[in-house]
Amino acid sequence: MAPRAIALVDCNNFYVSCERVFRPDLEGVPVGVLSNNDGCFVARSSELKALGVKMGQPLFEVKDLVRRHRVRVFSSNYVLYGDMSQRVTECLRGFTPALENYSIDESFLDLSGFHGRDLSAYASEIRSTVKMWTGIPTCIGIASSKTLAKLANHAAKKSLMGEGGVCDLTHEGDREQVLHMVPVEEVWGIGRRSAEKLNMLGVKTAADLRSMDPRQARKLLTVVGERLVYELRGVACLPLDLAPQPVKGTAVTRSFGEPVKTWEPMREAVASYASRAAEKLRGQGAHGLAAESLQVFMHTSPFRSGPSYANAATVELQPPTNDSFALIAAATAAAKRIWREGFQFSKAGVVLSGLVPVERVQPDLLQAADRQRGSRLMAAMDAVNARMGRDTLRSAATMGRAWRMRQESRSPSYTTRLTDVPVVRA
DNA sequence: TCTGGGGTCCTAGGACCC
DNA sequence: TCTGGGGTCCTAGGACCC
């Protein structure tokens, strides 16, 4: 059997690149995209990285630097990024149908059938096509396992093996070289805690981890660590997920734009999150999913002094449902149970679990007519909102404003809102 | 005093990812 | 003044059953 060849295509500084597609004047200057609430940096252009701004760094810590270097700062525009992501994925599907869409900016491609051809040249062709069709720059790493493909991608990004944005580690010599160059904490699946443990044992590089006794890796890092050792040896343990699996749970959680001190804005926020969570459920799978269980949590800021409080309450939903009004009612009741006066709440959330396809939900004869009416109403609401924009139609319970998040510099919805589409004059 | 053993299911919490 | 959000997988430990 021919060895496997897996390519990882990763978009460079994805959110920044999305903003640049519609703003060519942003090329060559420092650009950053902020998390929800304009809290911290979640994407940085290479120029911003060079200025020393770290991933996840709070904006307020680098205010001066941002002003001095005229850093272009954007609030996150997930509707735009989601749409651009789909375009990139569609473009990649033109090269192989065997594709796993791993995250908003990454896909694994099975190129096993292309062995014999020059994989690097093929990858370069993929890169230039994606750039031409979508405007998004990418890097591509190729190897015989997912973990090695990740490593190859890292090498491509850092130009560890020549320039050109492509790194092919299917040949042993190149692979050895890169394994010795990459510190163990850069390996996919090794986080801070695991890196600390490994370093104590003198395991410093990806090559060290590769050479570890798999049983020892398992003792130290559970089966995850053992698998990693094999993956680094080129033995693929992580299959490509060609068909997206249904999600097992879904959540809508937000920090507030300003602290919430009274029940009314908390009630509105929780109702609004429940409503959004219900929409997400209805959009999943062929006919939507229903939740068996709903949890609400709220807490004060972990970063501020003053009285602190954190709590959560869970409600079983019988029968399972994705009806906005049912979820709003359940979430509001749960929130009421854990609500306490006298605190400054910084965040709350609604978490849904036990997700089942709606068609598998046992119909309850007594309520069947009611529920059918409900699902027709939900479908009508979703249709209007899809056409006219999110929240055109929503429950009155979600109307408040005080708790909403800060978004001071969001770019237009260039690709999804007709009034925001760029106009070309020729 | 002594008071089994083994299976399953569920949940909470840790670690990691993007 | 100002510190993201939404997922996954794994394990340990408790409840429960025979």
The predicted structure's pLDDT at residue A162: 84
CA of A56 to C1' of C4 (A): 8
Across the range A341-357, mean pLDDT stands at 94
The predicted structure's pLDDT at residue A388: 73
Per the structure, the residue whose CA is closest to nucleotide C2 at C1' is A60
CA of A222 to C1' of C12 (A): 13
Closest alpha carbon to A230 in A257, A256, A210: A210
CB atoms near residue A192 (< 10 Å): 7
- Residues in reach of strand C, judged by a CB distance below 7 angstroms, are A 35-37, 39-40, 42, 55-56, 58-60, 63, 222-224, 245, 247-255, 259, 280, 301, 303-304, 346-347, 349, 405
* Cα–Cα distance, A278 to A323 (Å, whole number): 6
Is the C-alpha dihedral spanning A85, A90, A92, A98 positive or negative?
Answer: positive
Angle at A166 between CA A163 and CA A170, to 5 degrees: 120
Nucleotide closest to residue A346 (CA–C1'): C3
Tell me the pLDDT tens digit for each residue of A234-286: 999 999 999 998 999 999 999 999 999 999 999 999 999 999 999 999 998 88
CB atoms near residue A100 (< 10 Å): 19
CA of A259 to C1' of B18 (A): 28
The predicted structure's pLDDT at residue A376: 82
User: Six-digit token pair at A326?
Assistant: 């049912």
Q: How far is CA A52 from CA A36, A154, A270, A318, in A?
A: 21, 19, 37, 52
The predicted structure's pLDDT at residue A338: 94
| Residues in a beta bridge with A205 | A183
A194 pLDDT above the threshold of 70: yes
Which DSSP string corresponds to A300-339?
A: E-TTS-S---EEEEEEEEEEEE--HHHHHHHHHHHHHHH-
Question: Phi, psi (5° rounding) for residue A325?
Answer: -70, -35
User: Six-digit token pair at A314?
Assistant: 């869970």
Q: Which residues touch A330 (CB under 8 Å, ≥6 apart)?
A: A274, A294, A315, A317
- Respond yes or no on whether the N-terminal peptide bond of residue A320 is cis (omega within 30° of 0): no
What is the average pLDDT score of chain A? 92
- Give the E-state strand segments of A181-288 in sequence order: 249-260
CB atoms near residue A322 (< 10 Å): 27
The predicted structure's pLDDT at residue A368: 65
Residue A112 pLDDT class (50, 70, 90 cuts): very high
Per the structure, the residue whose CA is closest to nucleotide C9 at C1' is A224
Q: What is the β-pairing status of strands A166-168 and A138-143?
A: parallel
* Cα–Cα distance, A277 to A270 (Å, whole number): 10
Residue A364 pLDDT class (50, 70, 90 cuts): low
Residue A367 pLDDT class (50, 70, 90 cuts): low
Q: Which residues touch A239 (CB under 8 Å, ≥6 apart)?
A: none
Closest alpha carbon to A153 in A210, A97, A106: A106
Across the range A11-19, mean pLDDT stands at 98
- Cβ-contact A148, A3 below 8 angstroms: no
CA of A234 to C1' of C11 (A): 27
The predicted structure's pLDDT at residue A1: 59
Residue A2 pLDDT class (50, 70, 90 cuts): low
Q: What percent of chain A has pLDDT over 70?
A: 96
